[in-house]
Chains A and B, each alone.
Chain A
Amino acid sequence: MTAAERDRVDPATTAASEPDEVVGGDGDPASTDDGTSPAATDREDGGDAARDSPTERRALRAFDTGRWVGVTGVALTLVGIGIALRQPGTVLVGAAAVGYGLYARLGEADEAELAVEREVSDRTPDPGDAVTVTVRARNVGDAPCLDLRLVDGVPPGLEVVAGPARVATALRSGASVTFSYAVRASRGDHEWGTIRAVVRNAAGSRERLTELETPTRLTCTPELAAGGELPLRGLTTVSHGRVPTDVGGSGVEFYATREYRRGDPLKRVDWNRRARTGELATLELREERAATVVLLVDAREPAYVAARPDADTAVEASVEAAGAVFTALLAGGDRVGIAAMSPRDCWLPPGAGTDHAVRGRETLATNPALAPTPSEDRFYRTLWRRRFRRRLPGDAQVLFFTPLVDDVPVDTARRLDAYGHLVTVLSPDPTASASRSTATPGRRLAAVERRERIRTLRGAGIRVVEWGDRSFAAAVAGANGRWSR
């Protein structure tokens, strides 16, 4: 390692670096070239017995890369031509090329016997934080690795934002390589896959892939956004709460007057009327009751759509909105549950209280059914519907978060509504585009189809709120003004 290179390395890795040594540094003229990755060091460390056991691994069979195929043939042809034409130069070049033919057959690509460690700077980051991941691999085998390429198994839900999660190096026995990169944390429970180590022999004619198991976990649980008041529909429980009902009783809002009955409280007697007509009448006020609400998030594979390749998916938007609604409803005294329309099972029964709030936050953040990437299992909607209906309390309303990209959610919402669970559909709009130029015919068709589905739902008496570019809270506020009870 040159002095200039030492200056470039990450301070965190320099702090631990011991006498550096270049393996196989044979004074190649090009070795002074740039190393564009800022945080990578190769170093030798003195007998570190604790790390001497190789990481658990699974090696594939070595195979021919076919790089040097034909070199011996070319060599012998040159020799033959040289002999035929009596030119010593051609013969010598051909004979020297035989050396490369031998070199290509020399050695085998061994399994990568590496002790690998992975460190993340923060195991429980907030969403959007850059988390630095440092991977350190030490060659604990007896043989040197002359050509080693490492590719870290970054979890599918995390995006690498700085430096590739890869390195290519050469490690002699006992030497180690450290490389680091940064990922942007996103909601969910992320687990690193295997590190792939590709080893080639010196000539590069044989190659072998080894997968190294180094599990690392990163959990990112976002704070739930405080949500606005979402008007619920009339289906309520008998407990008091905030949802105005069509039931007369005690409350704050005028509902009706009725004839006085013995036992009615004096303060609810309509004294104005008594003064005007002499009759006793009792004011009925609109009762406000609590509701049981189940937040249903569409997390089937088709729902993982986004307006742009680098935008968040509709599932992500749905989960974020569900979080806001969850907090708001819980604060309003309603009982809230969470379910996912997904191949994987996700069910948090409706409940209330601080414990329930924490459970809800965890469910929304880390439940595998709501993961940032789709599950690979198959979704059986009939089975799912049957199970969901069995679980759904009879007096529960459903807030259904779905991008409405196919007809399954429409069908589901109409069925649930027909069974008496009043449904409100909240739909992030993945077809909304900022500029006209991106409006491809396909996108327009998808938008038209989606509009048609919304029309179908509204025609069936189901409320729909959609939000695209504007925020969820703004969309809800807009809908609030539009809806009568």
Chain B
Amino acid sequence: MSANGSRGIEPGGERGPETSEGRGSGADEDRERDTRPPLLAVVASLVAATVATAAAVVAAPTGGAVVGASIVCLAAGSLLGSARVLSWGAAAGIGGIALAAEFGGGAEPLLVAGVALAVAWDVADHGLSIGRQVGREARTRRNVAVHAGTSLLVGTLSAVVVYGTYVVAAGGQPIAALALLCFGGVVLASAFR
């Protein structure tokens, strides 16, 4: 038995309109609205993570196994609704890629793995925020597709530019060219800060 007034939109929690259309507040909120991330986001994220793992396995199986752990973390993060677990997944992926490079993995599969990992984390995290603000039952397909597409596009462009520069400019003297590339990256990144 409790004062059961607030059946409507309440100004919400941490960011943006975390709202409920349920009666009551707090615990009742989840009964009315499914706040899990949309299925599409979860599936897209896991597919991308699988691609990352496959590419990393091609580069070096040991590193690939570590990247594979990121699939588990991303799935768990989506399931638990925890951005922190997703970050662990991304960290595991990065560690795996670095490990694969250490074991002498080729540059091309590692680039693919890197981009796929970024997309996987980005889409999963986006799905979490969509789930919190809009919920699983609402129509979110286009939103998620646009976000995943943009993310993939950015990653591909970035990888193509980097790889192109690597192949064209750095044919003979890799380390000097890479150092220059690195310097350019730092300048560009700080220019945007």
Contacts and interface: CB of A to CB of B under 8 A. Distances in A.
A387 interface: no
B148 A163 contact: no
B21 A164 contact: yes
A309 B4 contact: yes
| Prevailing SS type, chain B contact patch | helix
A37 B138 contact: yes
| Prevailing SS type, chain A contact patch | mixed
A169 interface: yes
Interface in B80-125: 94, 97-98, 100-102, 105-107, 110-111, 113-115, 118, 122, 125
A158 B8 contact: yes
B114 A30 contact: no
B4 A304 contact: yes
Interface residues of A, number: 99
Contact of A95 (B94, B136, B145, B162): B162
Contact of A25 (B139, B145, B153): B145
A168 B134 contact: yes
Contacts of B17: 151, 196, 198, 209
Nearest to A24: B146
B15 A65 contact: yes
A156 B8 contact: yes
Contacts of A155: 8
B140 to A, nearest CB: 4
A156 B7 contact: yes
Nearest to A26: B149
Interface in A95-143: 95-103, 105-106
A30 B146 CA distance: 10
A164 B140 contact: no
A198 B133 contact: yes
A36 interface: yes
Interface in B156-181: 157-159, 161-163, 166, 174-175, 178-179, 181
A7 interface: no
B161 to A, nearest CB: 7
B148 A30 contact: yes
B78 interface: no
Nearest to A196: B17
Nearest to A303: B3
A167 interface: yes
A159 B47 contact: no
Contact of B40 (A34, A105, A147, A198): A34
A78 B113 CA distance: 14
B5 A147 contact: no
Nearest to A440: B1
Contact of B101 (A82, A153, A309, A442): A82
A179 B5 contact: no
Given A92-B107, A309-B4, A97 B139 contact: no
Nearest to A155: B8
B67 to A, nearest CB: 12
27 contacts: A24-B145, A25-B146, A31-B40, A35-B139, A35-B140, A85-B102, A89-B59, A91-B181, A93-B101, A96-B159, A98-B185, A100-B158, A105-B192, A148-B143, A149-B133, A149-B143, A153-B9, A156-B8, A157-B7, A163-B138, A167-B134, A196-B9, A196-B19, A204-B129, A304-B4, A373-B6, A374-B3
Interface of B: 1-9, 15-17, 19, 21, 23-24, 28, 32-33, 39-40, 43-44, 47, 59, 94, 97-98, 100-102, 105-107, 110-111, 113-115, 118, 122, 125-126, 129-130, 133-155, 157-159, 161-163, 166, 174-175, 178-179, 181-182, 185-186, 188-189, 192-193
Given A23-B142, A168-B143, 18 more contacts: A30-B47, A83-B182, A88-B178, A92-B111, A92-B163, A95-B182, A99-B157, A99-B161, A149-B130, A149-B143, A159-B21, A167-B139, A168-B130, A170-B142, A170-B143, A301-B5, A306-B1, A373-B8
